[in-house]
Homo-oligomer: A and B are copies of this chain.
Amino acid sequence: MGASAVNCTIAVDTMGGDKGPAEFIRGLFYAVEELKLEGEFILVGKEKLLRRLLKVRKLTIDPDRIHIHNATEVIGMDEKPIQALKRKKDSSMVQALSLLKDGKAQALVSCGNTGALMAGGTLRMRPLPGVDRPALATIVPSRKKPFVLIDVGANPESTALNLVHNATLGSNYAKAALGISQPRVGLLTIGTEEGKGNSLINETHGYLQKINGVINYVGPIEGFQLFDGNIDVVVCDGFVGNIVLKSSEALFGFIGSTIKEELLRNTKRKIGAALSASAFKDMKVRLSPDQHSGAPLLGLQGNILKSHGSSNYVAIANAMRIASELVKHDMIDSIRSDINQANALIETAESE
């Protein structure tokens, strides 16, 4: 592989998305041309198909920066993760994971089967020392600025220590992906008075206070504060986080369709809607921003980003951009050190 300004190669699982590999090629060009992404790319998938798709494009990217790694199989969205991983060794996802494992790539972007990517990622890349369970983070818009919600589904059965690790992982992700130097970390709960919530939350709250310094813990927050934008990292377990994320997406869709229904109810409203149509477009861009697509599986010895199955080229390009940020920021090294510090502080406190 050729030299590049940043020593970063991103493996891209091009077969996993709903829109097919052409969208990934488009995403790659968008990433390089519009987002000025540096480094190299390994497109993992059916080689012939990928070569054909590349051929039809005006090649504006140094060809030395684009590599193709052949993979003949595809893991479907509805396949059972572990079975699929075992059976389809030559799938684009398994092959991309191997490139990451072997150090041929520093990050992996996939829009494929989430369960398979989480299981495969955890099995191949292993959790960092001191981390029991990886966590899936995502970036959510708010009134002020986007925030990191972690965990959104990797670990539905968390211990207090898992949640402390989520806080540490999310804080590092906010630094790398959102460029916040001292991310404000909040613990999602019900009722912010001391002693409210549940025993898991109370234990976690105690731990988080002890590792202040490693992270910038500002305390518990309630559901009604979620979209205020005063917190950069919202910590919860994967059960709560997944339900909050999915139900929020569902509510967003439900509100949108209700507005649409009401706007189409009579002619006057229809004219009004036509005049203000751009407002709804802009709102949609603000609230479901493709630039924050890509949910990293954090706590592993490798950078793995999951983007939505339905990601378009802009979302894919931005997932690549975030992946390269994680590499540039040496996020994994920084997580490794923070986890060690956090664990040591808690151990000391426990033994006192």
Residues of A within 8 A of B (CB): 115, 142-143, 153, 156-157, 188-191, 196-199, 201, 222-228, 236, 238-240, 242-255, 257-259, 262-263, 265, 268-280, 282-283, 286-287
* A190 touching B272 in the complex, CB below 8 Å, given contacts A246-B224, A254-B142, A255-B255: no
Bound complex: CA of A28 vs CA of B311, how far in Å?
53
Give 4 closest A-B pairs by Cβ, nearest first. A272-B275, A223-B246, A272-B276, A262-B279
30 interchain pairs (CB within 8 A)? Answer: A142-B254, A156-B198, A157-B198, A188-B243, A190-B239, A190-B246, A222-B243, A223-B242, A223-B244, A223-B247, A223-B250, A224-B247, A227-B250, A227-B251, A240-B243, A243-B243, A251-B251, A258-B283, A262-B280, A262-B286, A263-B276, A269-B275, A269-B279, A271-B275, A271-B276, A272-B274, A272-B275, A272-B279, A273-B276, A273-B279
In the complex, besides A259-B280, A269-B276, 15 extra interface pairs with C-beta distance below 8 angstroms are A156-B190, A157-B199, A198-B239, A223-B243, A223-B250, A224-B247, A227-B253, A251-B252, A258-B286, A265-B279, A268-B276, A269-B278, A269-B279, A271-B272, A272-B279
A268 CA to B201 CA in the complex, in Å?
49
Known contacts A157-B198, A239-B240; is A259 also within 8 Å of B247 by CB?
A: no
Max chain B CB contacts within 10 Å: which of A156, A222, A243, A286? A243
With beta carbons under 8 angstroms apart, the residue of B226, B258, B282 that contacts A247 is B226
When chains A and B are docked, how far (Å) is the Cα of A240 from the Cα of B280? 31
CB-CB under 8 A from A251, the residues of chain B are 226-227, 248, 251-252
Closest to A276 in B: B272
Give bound CA distance, A142 to B255, whole Å: 9
A59 → B minimal CB distance (Å): 39
Compute how far the CA of A248 lies from the CA of B253 in the bound complex, rounded to whole angstroms.
Answer: 12
Complexed CA–CA distance, A225 and B254 (Å): 10
Once the chains bind, are A223 and B245 in contact (CB under 8 Å)? yes
How many angstroms between the C-alpha atoms of A261 and B256 in the bound complex?
A: 16
Residues of B within 8 A of A225 (CB): 250
Q: A197-B156, A247-B244, A248-B248 are in contact. Are A279 and B254 (CB under 8 A)?
A: no
Contacts of A286 in B (CB 8 A): 258, 262
A295 to chain B, nearest CB (A): 14
Q: How far does the alpha carbon of A280 sit from the alpha carbon of B280 in the complex, in Å?
A: 13
Contacts of A201 in B (CB 8 A): 239
A245 / chain B contacts, CB cutoff of 8 Å: 223
A172 → chain B closest CB, angstroms: 24
CB of A205 to closest CB in B, whole Å: 14
- Chain B residues with Cβ below 8 Å from A272 are 271-277, 279
Chain B residues with CB under 8 A of A275:
268-269, 271-272, 275
| Residues in B neighbouring A242, C-beta threshold 8 A | 190, 223
A224 touches B199 (CB 8 A): no
Complex contacts, A283 vs chain B, CB 8 Å: 255, 258-259, 262
B residues in contact with A271, CB < 8 Å: 272, 275-276
A246→B222 contact, CB < 8 A:
yes
Asked if B287 and A243 make an inter-chain contact with CB atoms under 8 angstroms apart, the answer reads no
Residue in B closest to A238 when the chains form the complex, CB atoms: B190
